[in-house]
Amino acid sequence: MPVEIFPNCALYPLDVLGDERGSLIAIEGGRDVPFEIARVYYIFGTQPDVERGFHAHRDLNQYAVCVTGSCTVMVDNGSERRTIALGRPDEALRLGPMIWHEMRDFSPDCVLMVLADAHYEEADYIRDYDQFVVAAGLGR
């Protein structure tokens, strides 16, 4: 069962398939995530003390999985903030539209994989926090 953080933001368990050889997780668009996957990117080799993110998306839906190592993600819906520790490959953090997020505390081996429902579009980013709060207050 997902653990809701905000309406657009939740932690989802991922089914682990495995046998005596080890483990495997499959994420299928339209089944394990509620959209067709248009883009996959991953963040790795993050230098010590680096902080990333500091934006929200207007329309983009994403699921982030820390496939190796660990990091934290601060999520903010415009009125509340929560910090989520990611550190397991069988858990996905849904980052829906209008969730401000900041990633930090990357372990040296961290690989943060993100599945997205659209191609990269800089116009979809809100990178100014005050602008985000105003937009979130208007419901968009």
Residues that bind ligand T46 (CB under 6 A): 39, 41, 43, 52-53, 62, 64, 95, 114, 120
Nearer to ligand T46 (CB atom), residue 26 or residue 50: 50
Q: How far is the CB of 64 from ligand T46 (least distance, A)?
A: 6
Nearer to ligand T46 (CB atom), residue 23 or residue 41: 41
Q: How far is the CB of 20 from ligand T46 (least distance, A)?
A: 35
Q: How far is the CB of 79 from ligand T46 (least distance, A)?
A: 20
Burial class for 92, CB neighbours closer than 10 Å (0-12, 13-18, 19+): buried
- From the list 55, 57, 101, 119, the catalytic residue is 55
Residue 103: CB atoms within 10 Å: 22
Nearer to ligand T46 (CB atom), residue 24 or residue 50: 50
Q: Is 119 a catalytic residue?
A: no
Q: What is the DSSP letter of 15?
A: P
CB 52 within 8 A of CB 39: no
CB 36 within 8 A of CB 63: no
Question: What whole-number distance in Å separates Cα of residue 67 and Cα of residue 42?
Answer: 10
Cite the active site residues. Answer: 55
